[in-house]
Structure 1
Amino acid sequence: MAAMLAVCFSLTVLSSDLAHAVDTTSSNATTVPPATELLIPDSEAWAIHWQATNITQKHSDFIAPYSGTNSLNPHGGMEETTDTTLFLGLRLWSGAEVWLNPEVDQGFGFDNTLGVAGFPSGGAYKIGANTPYLRFPKLFVRQIIALDGTNEAIAAAPNQLAGSQTSNNVTLTVGKFSVVDIFDTNSYAHDPRADFLNWSIFEAGSYDYAADPWGFTFGAAAEWNQDWWTLRAGFFQLSSEPNGKITRINFGENSTNLEVEARHQWLGHPGKIKLLTWINQGRMASYQDAVALGQATNSTPDVALVRRYSSRAGVALNMEQEISSDIGAFARLSANRGDKETYEFSDINQSISAGLSIKGGTWARENDTIGIAVVMNRISGDAQKYFTAGGLGLLIGDGNLNYAPEKIVEMFYSMQFSSTATASVDYQYIANPAYNQDRGPVSVYSLRLHANF
């Protein structure tokens, strides 16, 4: 599959006249004055887009006096992931679109995506395979209901038909998709096919959003867009047990999400501030109960033995600010209740990240990007006791724990060869992987190839 991607990548570089498109469901809109409404392009009736991404990673050897079931291999390792996706869209009626995204995946994250809470590959799912396999991660309908305001031209992009819409509107999305297509988005750190690779940098680390092991679920979201603010609400299906597959629609386990976004200008440059809250409801375990049962039975604590219907809430603050035409800054702060096990995303109870995205205009490579970011992840006192006693989480579990916050630095350079092809080199330095200062530090080196039309 990697060889196939290399051929596609080479051919795509030669096709520099194709239109560039980014895999995102957020609008790429240009305001059009009412007097020039006739210049708005005709609405697309249908569209086909495509992308392919290969991420190859290697991590260094590191010091580790002991390892557990979910540990990162201290003797180094090398893995690759490849995914290729079709974006098939059809306009149903005025303001309504349906999208289907068949995708072929192949490859693994390090140690089958284990060993680091802020996992270093956004191309790695929690389920891997040596041979390519077909999935249908997205099938959804979007309806835009016009309110008022200026008309905006909408550019063609994956999961977005070209056309127009009013600046003030209500957008409804229903079906199977990713919660983070809509919530916790950020212009500078959100797309592992284009910017940062670390899970806890391109998303809020503590955001335990509803998802199957590949990151998708069933649900519905509504967005109320006004001149300078947006209100979002969503209701989604959790897996029937933490980190489980979602094979049928059942909202017995569920997640409710609410986000408020405010847009502003600072010294003539745009910025956004978002406040997100969520609450998950389902069968989940208390760390205290798991540790108590382990002590009573003289065994390793196991969250699977003490699960009962309960809830866990969290909050995230997400900020982005353009500093100049070539430089943007971002930061996220997030936290969830640390008394219970992680349900879907990663074993993180508090996280803070910040970074810069720098375009290459100053060195005559305006479509190249340099990114640098730092993140610090923590777990609660209850979680520390659980992992110290040998418990296992979704991604971590060394059999013991000498606790310290997990600290990560990531840097990348993305070079655009044409309007449809990029290559990126990426370096991550991970101190205290899985919150364990007995192990590490670890260096991760990555090469990412991406092509799209």
Structure 2
Amino acid sequence: MSRFRTQRLPMVALIGTLAAGPALSQSSWEQFKDTLSRNAGIDFEFTYAPVIQASPDRDWESTANHELDFIGSWTPANGSGVLQWWALNILDYSSLSTSAFSNTLGIISDPNDGDLGGDRSFSGLALLWWQQELAGGVRLNFGKLGLAELVGKNRYAHDGRSDFFNTVVTGDVVAGYNVQDSGLGVFAELRRPEWYVSGFVADGSAEDNWIDFDSPGDGVWQYAAELGLTPEIAGLGPGNYRFTVSGIDAIETGNGTRQNGWGYGVSADQDIGANHAVFARFSRSASQMTEYLQALAAGYVYKAPFGRVDDRIGLAAWQVESEDASLRREKGLEAYWSVQVSDTTSITPDLQIILDPAKDRSRSSVTVLGLRLRVVF
């Protein structure tokens, strides 16, 4: 218990300070950003989002990290296209990384998206691409591609720093593009009012912290194709229904051999009136891409609880199965409430209950309590 208290106190102080700070000079800051947008075509934002989680079932063992994002775009005066970027820093605050925390709990569904493995911090580019709109509803992106931002998305379960925490809910953990470092590549999309088709080919062996011009010569590629339906359903509202097939060349499997992997997934979200929505994800590996064989998640989002139009309450359930047949099929439940405390700041308490921990047959469940701050400026 003392270990958790030692870590928790400075984290609580940090959260309180950052929650109050951005409001001090918000007006002049927004004026500066607006002037930069109008005069130079540059738009950007910073997002700071620390997370702390602990389990009462493991003597309050805990993990904590932050993600600092710098996301922006530059649009030339002639409007010929747009340069977009996303730089980020992830930093571990605790002695247990996310993966080490998961191992301590005996689970395979990581309770947050900040895993750094053996590293204590990471700084680099998640994406840097030029986006070009062509005639006939065609869009091209080329450069360092952030692949999870192009396919397999979900409006209500996509970002572990703004909606759900657990990685099985927020992304396609089965697919290689969600975990493998992305490199140089090309993405194309053809969009119509109620459907689209898209796909990418990208370097699959790039260094993740910058633009790797050498690794395309390795001949290791990632690729995906997606068909999406985007209907407006009378009485409900907009929906998105996506079917994705993805693959990666020459991955390393657990026994040290190398093979080509591929699989498929479905991601759907549907509004139910103005204030409610449901979503679902399913993915399965046909030939191993990651440590996961299959994953299923579904949930509900209340978009204006108790009249608070900027708050969100989310409920989700999931089931995930490892490629390792000796591990149990793991299940879980998650509930969060994102409370908007100011124009720039939200605080989100989170509860996860993981049933049948895959690596620990001695337990029927593990509980994880979490707290996240999100400041956008």
Shorter chain as denominator, the TM-score bin is 0.7 to 0.9
| TM-score normalized by the length of structure 1 | 0.70
Residues 1:55 and 2:51 aligned together: yes
Residues 1:105 and 2:54 aligned together: no
Query: Structure 2: which amino acid aligns with 1:123?
Result: G
Q: Within 5 Å, give how 1:7-26 maps onto structure 2.
A: 7-13=17-23
Match of 2:231 in 1: 264
CA offsets 1:174-199 (integer angstroms, 9 cap, x no match): 22242111111111111111100111
Match of 1:45 in 2: 41
Match of 1:364 in 2: 307
Change (3 A) 1:18 1:264: farther
Superposed CA RMSD: 3.1
Query: Structure 2: which amino acid aligns with 1:375?
Result: W
User: In structure 2, what is the Cα distance between the partners aligned to 1:110 and 1:436?
Assistant: 15
Residues 1:303 and 2:255 aligned together: yes
Match of 1:80 in 2: 64
Query: Structure 2: which amino acid aligns with 1:256?
Result: Y
Q: Do 1:142 and 1:171's aligned partners in 2 also have CA atoms closer than 8 Å?
A: yes
Counterpart of 1:11 in 2: which secondary structure? helix
Match of 1:249 in 2: 215
Change (3 A) 1:200 1:224: same
Change (3 A) 1:348 1:144: same
Match of 2:186 in 1: 220
Match of 1:36 in 2: none
Residues 1:184 and 2:133 aligned together: no
1:418 aligned to which of 325, 332, 342: 342
Residues 1:237 and 2:203 aligned together: yes
Structure 1 residue 260: Cα displacement:
0.5
User: In structure 2, what is the Cα distance between the partners aligned to 1:245 and 1:211?
Assistant: 16
1:277 aligned to which of 245, 270, 274: 245
Residues 1:135 and 2:79 aligned together: no
Query: Structure 2: which amino acid aligns with 1:54?
Result: P
Structure 1 residue 5: Cα displacement:
6.0
2:285 aligned to which of 320, 336, 348: 336
Number of residues of Structure 1 aligned to a counterpart in Structure 2: 351
Structure 1 residue 118: Cα displacement:
1.6
Match of 2:113 in 1: 122
Q: Do 2:339 and 2:348's aligned partners in 1 also have CA atoms closer than 8 Å?
A: yes
Query: Structure 1: which amino acid aligns with 2:113?
Result: G
Going by fraction, where is helix more abundant, 1 or 2? 2
Q: Do 1:210 and 1:237's aligned partners in 2 also have CA atoms closer than 8 Å?
A: no
Q: Do 1:373 and 1:410's aligned partners in 2 also have CA atoms closer than 8 Å?
A: yes
User: In structure 1, what is the Cα distance between the partners aligned to 2:53 and 2:294?
Assistant: 26
Question: Which is higher, the Rg of structure 1 or of structure 2?
Answer: 1
**Bigger mean CA offset, 81-90 vs 247-256:** 247-256
Structure 1 residue 372: Cα displacement:
0.2
Q: Do 1:405 and 1:435's aligned partners in 2 also have CA atoms closer than 8 Å?
A: no
Change (3 A) 1:178 1:405: same
User: In structure 2, what is the Cα distance between the partners aligned to 1:171 and 1:185?
Assistant: 17
Counterpart of 1:184 in 2: which secondary structure? coil
Residues 1:442 and 2:332 aligned together: no
| TM-score normalized by the length of structure 2 | 0.83
Counterpart of 2:109 in 1: which secondary structure? coil
Match of 2:74 in 1: 90
User: In structure 2, what is the Cα distance between the partners aligned to 1:5 and 1:76?
Assistant: 20
Residues 1:351 and 2:295 aligned together: yes
Query: Percent identity, aligned pairs only?
Result: 21
Structure 1 residue 357: Cα displacement:
0.6
User: In structure 1, what is the Cα distance between the partners aligned to 2:25 and 2:337?
Assistant: 22
Match of 2:165 in 1: 197
Residues 1:173 and 2:141 aligned together: yes
Q: Do 1:210 and 1:238's aligned partners in 2 also have CA atoms closer than 8 Å?
A: no
Counterpart of 1:367 in 2: which secondary structure? coil
Change (3 A) 1:435 1:350: farther
Q: Do 1:55 and 1:447's aligned partners in 2 also have CA atoms closer than 8 Å?
A: yes
Q: Do 1:50 and 1:86's aligned partners in 2 also have CA atoms closer than 8 Å?
A: yes
Query: Structure 2: which amino acid aligns with 1:221?
Result: F
Change (3 A) 1:253 1:303: same
Q: Do 2:176 and 2:247's aligned partners in 1 also have CA atoms closer than 8 Å?
A: no
Match of 1:294 in 2: none
User: In structure 2, what is the Cα distance between the partners aligned to 1:192 and 1:128?
Assistant: 20
Structure 1: runs of 5 or more not aligned: 21-40, 62-73, 148-168, 286-301, 389-402
Counterpart of 1:50 in 2: which secondary structure? strand
Query: Structure 2: which amino acid aligns with 1:337?
Result: A
* Greater RCO, 1 or 2 (C-alpha within 8 Å, sep 6+): 1
Change (3 A) 1:133 1:354: closer
CA offsets 1:4-54 (integer angstroms, 9 cap, x no match): 66533312245676999xxxxxxxxxxxxxxxxxxxx97961123111110
Structure 1 residue 102: Cα displacement:
3.3
User: In structure 2, what is the Cα distance between the partners aligned to 1:60 and 1:216?
Assistant: 37
Change (3 A) 1:220 1:210: farther
Structure 2: runs of 5 or more not aligned: 1-9, 31-36
Structure 1 residue 209: Cα displacement:
1.6
Change (3 A) 1:191 1:60: same
Q: Do 2:182 and 2:203's aligned partners in 1 also have CA atoms closer than 8 Å?
A: no
